Structure 1
Amino acid sequence: MLESLYRGLTRLAGPAVSHLLDKRAARGKEDLARRHERLGRPRHPRPTGRLVWLHAASVGESLAVLPLVDRLLAASPDLSVMVTTGTVTSAALMERRLPAPRAFHQYVPVDLPGAVDGFLAHWRPDLVLWVESEFWPNLLSAIRRRAVPCALVNARLSQKSFANWRRVPGTARRLLSVFDLALAQTAVEAKRLRVLGITDSRAIGNLKYSGGPLPADEAALAALTAVIGTRPVWTFASTHAGEEAMAIAAQQALLEIRPDTLLLLVPRHPDRGGEVAGMLSTSGLSFARRSGGALPGADDSAYLMDTLGEMGLVFRLAPVTVMGGSFMPVGGHNPIEPALLNSTVIHGPHMFNFTEMVAEMRAAGGLLSLDGPDAIAPAVAGLLSDPVVRNAQADAARGVALRNATAIDRVMEALAPLLARAGVG
């Protein structure tokens, strides 16, 4: 009933959605040159042979599936993989990281019946792998009507989302019946998905463990290493609004202890670079801005890295990482990425997006947890001044990451029957 009502309402929602896309484009949240993809009118030709469509939510999820893309391509020489996302940032990262031409990016269509039908009619996927915690009714219903094999991979489902879906059990069961299989990150989430109606739900582990170290441009790394020299360096990485002020305050305190300390400040969304630059200017800290092509000078106390796809560079340069999104109720970001590059991780009280991962790393002595921003400067100072403690913590975190790196093997094994059904491999 609710599904039919939703479909009927969205048939009438075209003008409203178009207006919403206009507003998002004005804020840099939509790519006007590729709006046809969002409206289900793709121009990229469908490759010949089998096509696996892999849908990820945004940056974190899209990066996590790169090992899966590689394994799928290795399984069959005539296979192509299409990765869809919904954000400009993730699209730019996928354009850089996907192994073209057999793997390519498209924007996911908006959840209007016409856009969905146009998208699926053009691409005709042989298998759908959904790496997303948001379930779009028209899109999933259209996949089900076409009887395309479909699995939910690296699944997360928060307690709040679970509670909301349990209020409409019939709709949840009908909507989620498209998934032949759900591969959850944890046993708790696998159980929640079974309750909602995906009978074959298994706890496989987190694909983010299997990604390997983030890449870095060798020339850029050499140039920055040369200008930084022996200065103590730390990063506040992937910051959200409110956390830049914390980073600046911590850096000002650190400069009183050691005046040559350098902060690498990396906003999660590079389009906030102007805003963050204004904050740095107001604070009185001397800084250089990477998006303008500058390198940090000897007199600069901060380096604003408001660019995209350079976290591998950041973590190689900074032996200490303070994780953004963890001092605001965002849920934190992936601690495996700095850990694999020997950068010791400090986080705040809000790491709920990575609860089990954080618990395992913390139990191994691989993370330093802080209650609030006032503790950042003392924690960073302590780690920068004690390489023995710092390296021991980094080694412990990296050890956890390496022990769990086989998640991709378990995913491929679980997907084998669906891959066979789709004629892949």
Structure 2
Amino acid sequence: MSYKGGPSTLFGNAANFVAPLFALVESAYYKFFRRLSWRDSVEVLTQRLSLTSEVELKETCRSPVSLWFHGASLGETRTALAFCAAVLRALDRKNAVLFPYENNFQIRSLLFTSANVAAQEPLLRGLDFLNKTSLKTGTSAEFQRRLVPYDCPSCVNRFLSRFLPRNAIFIESELWPTLLQESKKKGVKLFLLDGRLSPASKERWTSSAFGTSMLKQMLTSFHFIGARNEEEAFFFKQFGCSNVKVIPPLKVLLPSGSEGDSVSLPTRFGPSWMVCRTVHKIASLKSLPKGISTHDPEEISLLRVHKRLCTTWKLERKPLLILAPRHVERTSKIFRAAQFIGFKPSEIAVHSRHSLSDNVSLLIIDSYGVLSSFFQQCKVVFVGNSLVPPGGGHNIAEPLHYKCVVLHGSYIKNFVETWRYLNIFNSSSPVTCMIQNEDNLFNRIQYFLLHLEKAHEWGEMGYTSVKEAEEFVVSSVLHELVFEPSTAIS
């Protein structure tokens, strides 16, 4: 069976009918369940449908977008910000030409889009940092942020007609059929960096002839694909992508604006350790009371470890655990879980609501984009979603930039390339500590908190490795996009 205009066209035509309904539902969700203001929830609707007023666009976009970055959620958006900052610094140092197929290419206006509303606030702070970076390098570019439009022809074409992007860099696996097809039609050069597809996504796309055809149409829209590893590169090439290369992981780059962040913890607290990005999973824990039966067993293990630390701690100032869940709306459930483990309500503080009293031993972070503020205060960081299967892990490189000892479980399939890559730059010993179980985690944390000089040594070793890796990543990836003026194509 054939589809006139291809599978993406059929998909796009169907999406045109449901987009307004989806926009209303999403806007209502953020208003009533995520507590956004009416103005912000309406803004979600207008940006998804690309209905932003022409007056606002004239104020925010005085020239066509020369470079457009897109990432699905907070992690990919932070990677895009970090890479953009590296691009600005590299162009300033090398006096090089970006995208040599353009005549006299200059960065005048940059656009960042995300599919996740939670990424917009951290993105605003990141753009402020990029603006300062551009002023230092003499670029004087405009920086804008938007939610990506719904993947239907009407929304996408309004978006492209208003912003007029010329080059687009997509991060990881954010593939939208209509967005890619229409962008290519309008002459936008598309690049996919850190490209990957999860096993589930591959199975979903290739389970039918229609899905396979649509995936091929999307992947061949890219001018260049920087794959995460050889396996991904082989997969992309199977679909007719000719310009595919394996590139180093972009996750080793320090997110933009992080270096200047800081927070001070009162000196009355003992050494602090941090757990970042624990993830909610459906799990049957019969020992837990009603209301917290679906908590991640990893989270329960971490709370037990800290309770054990506090109970056995012999020094005057007890350690402080800073727990940052991946989804901050779960704060109240984590609070109840901590009470079940044995913490008194007076020993638990929520970052945005409570002050740190003398007897607080657990601080729960309930806002996005503030992790870097606490990395500077912590000696030890455990990266979550890695101790209990199936796991997957989170970015293990970011805490290394702050000279933290980084611990994680063995289930880091989403970041195994980053882990391997970082260890290339330190062959004497691993740059992170891999934890096998709860007892192993307790022993490691207790050791480093009691021997801060050893924690300092590990932190310095990890910092050196991640900085060397960062420099190599930037030079390797930019080599595919940046050319010296003598080799530029006019």
Normalising by structure 2, we get a TM-score of 0.77
Q: Confirm whether residue 266 of structure 1 aligns to residue 347 of structure 2.
A: no
Identity %: 22
Distance 1:37 1:18, change over 3 A: closer
- 8 Å CA contact 1:361, 1:367 repeated in 2: no
Amino acid at match of 2:159: F
Q: Write the distance in 1 (CA, Å) between the matches of 2:367 and 2:460.
A: 28
Amino acid at match of 1:41: L
Distance 1:373 1:6, change over 3 A: farther
- 8 Å CA contact 1:320, 1:346 repeated in 2: yes
> Which of the numbers 425, 432, 436 marks the counterpart of 1:367?
432
Give the drift of 1:120.
Answer: 1.0
Distance 1:106 1:22, change over 3 A: closer
Tell me the alpha carbon deviations over residues 231-273 of structure 1, each in whole angstroms, 9 at most, x when there is no partner.
1211111222224322221111111221612111112223322
Normalising by structure 1, we get a TM-score of 0.88
- 8 Å CA contact 2:385, 2:394 repeated in 1: yes
Tell me the alpha carbon deviations over residues 265-307 of structure 1, each in whole angstroms, 9 at most, x when there is no partner.
1122233223323333444341222111x44222111112222
Q: Write the distance in 1 (CA, Å) between the matches of 2:21 and 2:65.
A: 36
Distance 1:14 1:29, change over 3 A: farther
Amino acid at match of 1:13: V
Alignment correspondent of 2:52: 42
Q: Write the distance in 2 (CA, Å) between the matches of 1:131 and 1:404.
A: 19
Q: Answer with 144-153 or 394-403: which moved more.
A: 394-403
Tell me the alpha carbon deviations over residues 19-75 of structure 1, each in whole angstroms, 9 at most, x when there is no partner.
541453233298514221111223442232552111111111111122332355564
Q: Confirm whether residue 188 of structure 1 aligns to residue 217 of structure 2.
A: no
Give the drift of 1:124.
Answer: 0.9
Q: Write the distance in 1 (CA, Å) between the matches of 2:450 and 2:48.
A: 50
SS at match of 1:284: coil
SS at match of 2:332: helix
- 8 Å CA contact 2:307, 2:343 repeated in 1: no
Alignment correspondent of 1:255: 310
Q: Answer with 115-124 or 280-289: which moved more.
A: 280-289
> Which of the numbers 393, 396, 405 marks the counterpart of 1:332?
393
Amino acid at match of 2:202: F
SS at match of 2:415: helix
- 8 Å CA contact 1:128, 1:149 repeated in 2: yes
- 8 Å CA contact 1:254, 1:377 repeated in 2: yes
Tell me the alpha carbon deviations over residues 175-231 of structure 1, each in whole angstroms, 9 at most, x when there is no partner.
22210101123233222222222210111211222326833544x33xx1xx13461
SS at match of 1:96: helix
Mapping of 1:121-132 within 5 angstroms?
A: 121-132=161-172
Amino acid at match of 2:23: S
Q: Confirm whether residue 140 of structure 1 aligns to residue 158 of structure 2.
A: no
Q: Confirm whether residue 393 of structure 1 aligns to residue 448 of structure 2.
A: no
Rg comparison, structure with higher value? 2
Q: Confirm whether residue 204 of structure 1 aligns to residue 247 of structure 2.
A: yes
Alignment correspondent of 2:34: 28
Q: Answer with 41-50 or 71-80: which moved more.
A: 71-80
Tell me the alpha carbon deviations over residues 373-413 of structure 1, each in whole angstroms, 9 at most, x when there is no partner.
45322221122223354334333332331221121222222
Q: Confirm whether residue 64 of structure 1 aligns to residue 79 of structure 2.
A: yes
Q: Write the distance in 2 (CA, Å) between the matches of 1:357 and 1:395.
A: 18
- 8 Å CA contact 1:184, 1:202 repeated in 2: yes
Give the drift of 1:123.
Answer: 0.8
> Which of the numbers 381, 385, 405 marks the counterpart of 1:321?
381
SS at match of 1:90: helix
Distance 1:132 1:360, change over 3 A: closer
Q: Confirm whether residue 151 of structure 1 aligns to residue 191 of structure 2.
A: yes
Amino acid at match of 1:304: I
Distance 1:117 1:58, change over 3 A: same
- 8 Å CA contact 2:384, 2:408 repeated in 1: yes
Q: Answer with 34-43 or 385-394: which moved more.
A: 385-394
Q: Answer with 373-382 or 84-93: which moved more.
A: 373-382
- 8 Å CA contact 1:165, 1:196 repeated in 2: no
Distance 1:158 1:396, change over 3 A: farther
Distance 1:170 1:88, change over 3 A: closer
> Which of the numbers 58, 61, 81 marks the counterpart of 2:110?
81
- 8 Å CA contact 2:65, 2:164 repeated in 1: no
Give the drift of 1:143.
Answer: 0.9
Give the drift of 1:146.
Answer: 1.2
Distance 1:397 1:300, change over 3 A: same
> Which of the numbers 348, 353, 365 marks the counterpart of 2:414?
353
Q: Write the distance in 2 (CA, Å) between the matches of 1:384 and 1:129.
A: 42
SS at match of 2:482: helix
Distance 1:177 1:116, change over 3 A: same
For structure 2, which runs of at least 5 residues remain unmatched after alignment?
Answer: 92-104, 132-140, 281-295
Q: Write the distance in 2 (CA, Å) between the matches of 1:312 and 1:182.
A: 30
Q: Answer with 395-404 or 207-216: which moved more.
A: 207-216
For structure 1, which runs of at least 5 residues remain unmatched after alignment?
Answer: none
> Which of the numbers 381, 403, 408 marks the counterpart of 2:474?
408
User: Aligned residue pairs: how many?
Assistant: 417
User: What's the RMSD between the two structures over aligned residues?
Assistant: 2.9
Amino acid at match of 1:404: A
Q: Write the distance in 2 (CA, Å) between the matches of 1:199 and 1:48.
A: 33
